[in-house]
Amino acid sequence: MHQFEILTKTQLEKVHATSLRILEKIGLDFGYPPALEVLKKGGARVDGQQVFFPPGLIEEQLKKPPAEFTLYARNPEHNVVIGGRNTVFAPGYGAPFVTDLENGRRQATLKDFENFVKLTGASANQDLLSGTVVEPTDIPAEIRHARMLYASVKYSDKCFMGSTMGIRAARECLQMASILFGSRAELASNPAIFGIVGALTPLKYDARMLEALMEYAAAGQPLIIASLAIAGATGPVTMAGTLALQNAEVMAGIVLAQLVREGTPVIFGGVSTNAEMRNGTLSIGSPEMAINAAATAQMARHYRLPVRGGGAVCDAKSPDAQASYESMMNLLMARLSGINFMLHSAGILESFNCMSYEKFIIDDEMCGMVKRIKSGYEVNPDTLAFDIIKEVGPGGHFLDKDHTFDHFRTEFYQPQLSNRDDFVSWQAGGSSRSLERAHTRYKEILETYETPELPADVDKDLLQFIAKRT
């Protein structure tokens, strides 16, 4: 299946050229002296905190990250390949609030975090954990990252993200990952923890992000280098201008990562969108968000880099019709455009501010549908089914044929949430709405979830590590 492209070759080249011009003539503010030293030594021009990048430096360093890499889970069955024509899904990230039908909207707790880890672990569609799926407010900030990482590896054996909120958090997450996988050397050989580093748009990286970027890169761990420029607010009002700005910011971060450690795996992260101009707020449920995901995917392919974008993102305040149509628009566009890493694939409401238990289940269903759409179908003598069509002939049916029984389970998407009964059967079953079914479904998953075994010695060492920092 061909990937959807929104930019012509000429348009893409113009965006690239403008980004190079931004980097060379305007530059970026890097508020971290060690980063300035690395960049200066690598060939950038440094004036105070302002860094100017020669085009040749950008072009050279963009060739060094791998086009594809494997992220290793403690259960090898959950290893994921990032790049190529693969798409991996991860649920929401960074929400300070949660909501469900029973308790309404509230501040997130560690219990909520653990619940979403379990829901992700149980999902056949969510490929890895998203780090700060919610921000637990009942845990002291100084150990929050450690408690979240522990919960991630305790309640799931999928790949996971670490904190990038400063050097201390980054180092402690890397240390905990080393306990889990054996050593720093093992991590460097088989990357197992990754973080997301975001530019402070426009044209700036703050010290906390740069500290983390350099720690992860030095350890050989993958990084999502991301920009969220808001057209009309922190970026130009035109989407082309915002794309060029986003592109410049991401490339600058990638250059630093490669200068710290050549070959550091990176994911090109573009999640820019527009401001709602009536009130100045961020809009992530807009067509512009979807368009930017498609354009970002093209830019990343131009650089032969894996790309992050899209997700089941929306501006809706509840898991209603608005949440569904905005989320599906962004999910489907991102998948068809060739996005490799789709963060915020399940649960997000309120422009990144809230995670919904019910929406997690609804979005997870949509992720399964999107995966099915992208997979297409096989065309061969068996699937073309000439012989069985001949056998049935005019006016017959295929319901009782061996060919049907042989194929229907794999040929059709089997929904976990959607109701496909006729009206009478649906009514007889209680006339349940999708939101109600999603509520029941997430409760059932949590009640029956089987936690994967974590070796006792590893569990003990992780808890001792956290205790020393309490």
Is residue 128 within 8 Å of residue 159, measured between CB atoms? yes
Which domains, ranges and CATH numbers included, belong to the chain? 62-375 (3.20.20.480), 381-411 (no CATH)
Measured distance CA(332)–CA(352) in Å, rounded: 19
Joined tokens for residue 337: 């455009």
Provide the residue-wise pLDDT of the chain in tens; the chain has 470 residues. Answer: 678 999 999 999 999 999 999 999 999 999 999 999 999 999 999 999 999 999 999 999 999 999 999 999 999 999 999 999 999 999 999 999 999 999 999 999 999 999 999 999 999 999 999 989 999 999 998 899 999 999 999 999 999 999 999 999 999 999 999 999 999 999 999 999 999 999 999 999 999 999 999 999 999 999 999 999 999 999 999 999 999 999 999 999 999 999 999 999 999 999 999 999 998 889 999 999 999 999 999 999 999 999 999 999 999 999 999 999 999 999 999 999 999 999 999 999 999 999 999 999 999 999 999 999 988 889 999 999 999 999 999 999 999 999 999 999 889 999 999 999 999 999 999 999 999 999 999 999 999 999 999 999 999 999 999 998 87
Tell me the DSSP string of 25-70. II-EEE--HHHHHHHHHHT-EEETTEEE--HHHHHHHHTSS-SEEE
Report d(CA 260, CA 262) in Å as an integer.
Answer: 7
In sequence order, which residues have a C-beta less than 8 Å from that of residue 329 and are 6 or more positions away? 285, 287, 290
Q: How far is 307 from 344, CA to CA, in rounded Å? A: 14
User: What is the arrangement of strands in the sheet containing 341-342, beginning at the earlier edge strand?
Assistant: 88-89, 341-342, 307-308, 266-270, 223-227, 193-198, 160-161
d(CA 368, CA 386): 30
Q: 355: which residues sit within 8 A by CB, 6+ positions away?
A: 91, 92, 95, 97, 98, 99, 108, 112, 116, 133, 134, 347, 348, 349
Q: What is the pLDDT, as a whole number, of residue 177?
A: 97
